[in-house]
Each structure stands twice: as C-alpha cells, then as structure tokens.
Structure 1
Amino acid sequence: MSCSDCAAGQEYKGSPQGKTEKIGGVSCYVGTPTGHYDHKKVLLLLTDMFGLTLPNNLLLVDDFTKQGYRTIAPDYLNGDAAPPYAMNNPNFKVKDWVQNHMPDVTRPPLDDVIQALKRQGVTSFAVTGYCFGGRYAIDLAIDGIVDVIIVSHPSQVVVPTTFETFAQKASAPLLLELGDKDTEVTVEKQGEIDAVLGDGKYAPGYKRESWPGCSHGFAVRADVLVPEQLQGKEGSFNSSVAWLKKYF
C-alpha cells in the first residue's frame, strides 16, 4: 500500500511561476496560462506526499500551464506534507505518515476546492495524480467528478479491486503511467489491471504505459541524470499532454 519509494527521488531546482491563493478556503498553487485558454476547464494536479513544499510538484503545474491548461494543485494535505528531510531517509516512516492522512481528512479539501471552482463557472475537470495523489484521482473519477484522468504510479490502490470498482463506476478516459521497476504496482499487477480495463473492456478509453528502468515516483522525482529515468519522466509528461488534448 505504501513503500519506501514513495519518499525516494530527487528534488529539482527551479523558480515556480504560479501563484498561491485560497480557493474554497484551501491553499492552492495555481498556474494560469498567459495566452487564450478555456476558462470553464481546470486541470487538478494531486501531488505526492511532499505536497506544495516540493518544487518538483510546482514545476509540474507550470509545465501543464504552459500547455494551455489552467492547472491547480490543492493543498489537500492540510499543510502537513511530508517534510523535506523525509526524502531518501530510510528512518522516515512512510506508513505512519499515511495513517495521519486518510481520506476523512484529505478528501474534504478537494471537495471544497472543486465546489468553489464550480461557483466560479468551471464546468469541466481533468485530474492528474502522482503517487499518494493517484488514489484520490481515481476516487474523483469513481465519483463522477472529473471528465479525464491521468494517474502516475499510484499508491494506496488494491489490484485488481480498485480498478474493478473504477470500471464499474467511472466514465472518464484513463491514462496510467507506470514503471517496470515499480514495487507498489508491479509488472504482474499491471497485467491484472489490463485484464480489467484493456482490450476495449473500459469503453471510455484506457491506456497504460510502463517505462523501462523506472521505479515508483519517476514521473515527479526521477533522477534526470539517469537516461532511462529522464526518458520515463519526459515521456510520461508528453503522453499526459497528448491524453488531455485528445479527451479534454
């Protein structure tokens, strides 16, 4: 359900270009395109356990914003993201952190943000979720709240049960980005997901990619000095943009 790779990876340098603002009483990092964009659409980015404190997550918001999508990353962790010292720290207890961030406290901020955006005139949502945020992206699709979903190396999923529920209740096209070294959703489990959703079984649309040499967390915390990890990170982002252009 949670693994040490959830807190592994590299922190990136960069200067985030978005702004932090309150939406529905929740602190959010917001990227607004400089050119023309559809004001009725919002891409929600649900971060990993490092939340808005990790530059990687903010820079990802910026990257999607540059593609023409108003992109919002809510602080659904309630200001209690995993601390910076947790990165690559074998003494940091990921499972203990997760127990303090169960859906009863982390889902309400998402609902507050979504309702506030609807009051502002937003009518269509896409969601992209990374690691810890992947399960929440799936839940939003199961609840019929989002129109398009992208999930990268999710944690807190049960294979195949989570995806059987998804197949029964969701209607949003799903792009699933994984690595072949993921210990959370192994290659074997990836095949089980395909058995549920693949070959046209999930009519709205389903695609899974498994990037060689990439472990859990690669799409947001890859070591870009390792060619395979860089290829996985950049490739998964490009696939995400293509999915949005196709369905959103």
Structure 2
Amino acid sequence: MVGTECFSTPTVMNSTCGAGNVTNIAGLNSYVTGSPLSALVILFMSDLADKVAAKGGYRVVCPDVFNGDPFDRNNTTRPVAVWLKDHAPEKGFETVKPVIEALKKEGATAIGAAGFCWGARTVTDLGKAKSIQVSVLLHPTYVKVDDVRGVKVPIALLVGQNDSVTPPKLMEQFKQVLDAKPEMVGMSWN
C-alpha cells in the first residue's frame, strides 16, 4: 500500500531543478549534488538531495530507480497495482547495487542511504546486505518486521504520527525488533 501523499511530488531528473546535475552512474541516470570530492556519499531515494548536500558537505546521489517512469496518479489506465508490476520494490536493490559499486570505485569510503516510501524497501535490502554503512527509513512502505530484523547496519526509522501506511502499531513492532538487537544502533520515532 502506498499513501496518496507519495505521489504529490514525484522525483524530477532535471539539472535545472537544483544545484546538482544528472549523470549516468553504472547505467542509471542519477541526480548528483554536493562536493564531487567528498568520500562520504548519501544515496537518497527522494527529491531532497540538494538540502541534504548543502547541510552536511556530502555528495548526494539520487538514482532514477524508475528509469524515467515514475508513477502517475492521473493515469487512470495504469493504477499503482499495474505500475508496481514494472517497478516492484524488491527490484530496487538490484537496480541500485551497481550505483553503489561505482561510487566505491570513485572513492566513496562511506555510503549511507535514506529511503522514503517505496525507497525504504531498497534501503532496507541494502542494509541487510551491508552494502551501506547506515540506513534511514522514512514512511517505510513495503517494509515488514522481518525486513527490519535482517538489517545489519545502524538504522533509523522516521514515521509521522498520522502515517496511514506505517501506523503506530507497526512502528512498535519495528521498535521491539531494534530493542532486541543490542549490537545494533537503532532508533525509531513517530
């Protein structure tokens, strides 16, 4: 299930929309902003890349995981269930993995990832594989308790109190999983 708020502002792959530029990384168009010399990289599954780069001096990469085909809620002939057949959340990991490998070859020494909605599942899978050093999930859609249980890197779960997709009951289950893993740095807010 996806909240209607997820489609209010789809990611735009356009260099004129911010301080960065669109570049091809491992065959995937990616919006890149921040210092190209930074060895600290944030992989961002959202349209807030410029704000994050400006605040921390990081290089922020926002790959186009939908290959130019974001969900369009105005397209009544292609509802979200149909669109998801082409863009299943579990495919995100394999889509982004070459980007991470390319960033490491370019000198990235630490990669954190933040995923909103659909992107939270990708970030969870990256954390399970230890492909990143830290994960942040915001409004985590398509993420189950067992997914959080499998994450092997520090994780933060950030959810609004009125999030219809990740209600307080589910957040409590996530929190119990994190509390049971004392070796993990985990936190959750809602």
Scaled by the length of structure 2, the TM-score of the pair is 0.85
- Give 5+ residue unaligned stretches, structure 1: 48-56, 211-248
Cα distance in 1, alignment partners of residues 23 and 62 from structure 2: 10
Cα distance in 2, alignment partners of residues 104 and 183 from structure 1: 21
Cα distance in 2, alignment partners of residues 204 and 45 from structure 1: 22
1:19 is matched with which residue: 18, 21, 24? 21
- Asked whether the 8 Å contact 1:75–1:109 carries over to 2, the reply is no
**Structure 1 residue 97 displacement after superposition:** 1.4
Q: Residue in 2 aligned with 1:63?
A: 51
Secondary structure, aligned partner of 1:153: strand
**Structure 1 residue 128 displacement after superposition:** 0.6
**Structure 1 residue 165 displacement after superposition:** 2.3
1:144 aligns with 2:137: no
**Structure 1 residue 202 displacement after superposition:** 4.0
2:34 is matched with which residue: 17, 32, 35? 32
1:126 is matched with which residue: 99, 103, 112? 112
Scaled by the length of structure 1, the TM-score of the pair is 0.67
Pairs within 5 Å for 1:1-248 = 2-5=1-4, 7-9=6-8, 15-33=17-35, 39-47=38-46, 57=47, 60-67=48-55, 68-83=57-72, 86=73, 93-102=79-88, 105-158=91-144, 160-166=145-151, 170=152, 172-198=153-179, 201-210=181-190
Cα distance in 2, alignment partners of residues 206 and 90 from structure 1: 40
Aligned letter for 1:61? Answer: A
Secondary structure, aligned partner of 1:181: coil
What do you get for the CA RMSD once the two structures are aligned?
Answer: 2.6
Cα distance in 2, alignment partners of residues 101 and 110 from structure 1: 13
**Structure 1 residue 43 displacement after superposition:** 0.5
Cα distance in 1, alignment partners of residues 9 and 39 from structure 2: 35
**Structure 1 residue 79 displacement after superposition:** 1.9
**Structure 1 residue 113 displacement after superposition:** 1.0
Aligned letter for 1:197? Answer: L
Cα distance in 2, alignment partners of residues 65 and 137 from structure 1: 18
Aligned letter for 2:54? Answer: K
Shift in alpha-carbon separation, 1:144–1:187, aligned structure 2, 3 A: same
Greater strand share, 1 or 2? 2
Aligned residues: 185
Secondary structure, aligned partner of 1:44: strand
Higher relative contact order (CA 8 A, sep 6+): 1
Greater helix share, 1 or 2? 1
Cα distance in 1, alignment partners of residues 86 and 99 from structure 2: 21
Secondary structure, aligned partner of 2:71: coil
Shift in alpha-carbon separation, 1:10–1:81, aligned structure 2, 3 A: closer
Q: Residue in 2 aligned with 1:54?
A: none
Cα distance in 1, alignment partners of residues 168 and 91 from structure 2: 31
Shift in alpha-carbon separation, 1:99–1:116, aligned structure 2, 3 A: same
